[in-house]
Amino acid sequence: MKKLILLLLAAAMLLPAMAQEVEVTSQRRLLEGVEGAAYFPVLNSTGDRLLFVTEGGALKFHDLNDGVTTVVTTYYVAGNDACWGGDGKVYFVTQQMGEDHLIYRTGQCYDAATRKTECVTEPQHGAVRAVSATRGGALKAPQHSYNSASDIGSAAWTEGSRVHVTVGGEERVFSPVDSWAGYLWASLSPDGKRVAFFAAGKGIVVIDLRGQMLAMLGNYEMPCWYNNEYLVAQNATDDGHQFTSSQLMLLKADGTFKTALTTPASMAMQPTCGGGKIVYTTIDGLLYEMKINIYQ
């Protein structure tokens, strides 16, 4: 009898996860016939403006309301080196080779309202990270960093095997899991209460603002918050030389539920979320917008 009761209790605990259903309600191609290959899309929080990098490395943004695409810079911008700040501006990093044949990176800020770009850090050798914050943005670097204001609000970013979190003007640094190859892709949940990031060899980790581990969501890449309870991530495989499959996964932030949004053969990758939308690209650089419903 005791064993039966334990089994019934375990089944009851699983019911919420088993009852969840996800429906893809719409899916459409973006920029078809207008742009060439587009990679590393980044939606703003309201989901009406989209950054992307061209095959040649130029950075552009597309307005999903009026359909207009604008060039931010023709200088080379590497993938994941651009973000929307909480002030509506674009923070990004350009790269150029110096006379000494070293790569130099420069932090830039683009105002989408005035269409003007400001150089905010000197060219420097070494990593420069564009960081989105709730009240603005930042460029983080070992030598010359930049904050858009004295108080940029809350932010999260990675450096080596450390995740940095700024809350109320206080910077906190955590290493909640061992990862010899480091952390990537840190971001705050929309309500600012949790941080998700990728730890090489471990997968996606969710922590609170004190660095306490809340969940490990599996060995997926490029996590982005769909809302406060769910994330979208890339599940890719390769043969050591090239991708052999890639699909999008929807993951519950507490680790109790996951489901595929696309098939492995879709080669869907590099997801971004905002305003209830999911935008992703394919291995061929085709951009798509997806909308979903989550039922309990």
Q: Tens digit of pLDDT for each residue in 182-192? A: 999 999 999 99
CATH number at residue 144: 2.120.10.60
Torsion of CA 176, 181, 187, 188, to 10 degrees: 0
Nearest by Cα to 110 from 86, 130, 90, 84: 90
Model pLDDT, residue 169 = 85
CB 61 within 8 A of CB 77: no
CA dist., res. 106 & res. 251, Å (int): 35
Q: Is residue 51 part of a domain?
A: yes
Query: Does residue 283 surpass a pLDDT of 60?
Result: yes
Alpha-carbon distance of 149 to 287, in angstroms, equals: 33
Q: Is residue 114 part of a domain?
A: yes
Can you say whether residue 120 is alpha, beta or left, with left for phi > 0 and alpha for psi between -120 and 50 degrees?
A: alpha
pLDDT of 165 higher than 70: yes
For 13-17, 111-115, 149-153, 292-296, which range has the lowest pLDDT when averaged over its residues?
A: 13-17
Quickly list H helices, the chain. 2-19
Instruction: Say how many domains are in the chain.
Output: 1
Q: How do residues 189-216 score in pLDDT, each as one tens digit?
A: 999 999 999 999 999 999 999 999 999 9
Q: Is 180 left (phi over 0), alpha (psi -120 to 50) or beta?
A: alpha
> Which residues form the domain of 136?
37-148
- Domain-embedded: residue 112: yes
119: tokens are 């150089």
Q: What is the structure's pLDDT at 8?
A: 38
Residue 64 resides in a domain: yes
Is residue 84's pLDDT more than 90? yes
The per-residue pLDDT of the chain, averaged, comes to 92
Structural domain contains residue 138:
yes
Rounded Cα gap, residues 235 and 223, in angstroms: 10
pLDDT of residue 20: 83
**The sheet that has 287-295: what strands, in order across it?**
21-30, 287-295, 277-282, 268-274
Q: Which residue has the tokens 């999911």?
A: 278
- The torsion of the CA quartet 21, 284, 219, 41, rounded to 10 degrees, works out to -80
Q: Is 78 part of a structural domain of the chain? A: yes
pLDDT per residue as tens digits for the range 225-277: 999 999 999 999 999 889 999 999 999 999 999 999 999 999 999 999 999 99
- Regarding pTM above 0.85, the answer is yes
State the pLDDT confidence band at 13, using cuts at 50, 70 and 90. very low
* pLDDT for 147 beyond 90: yes
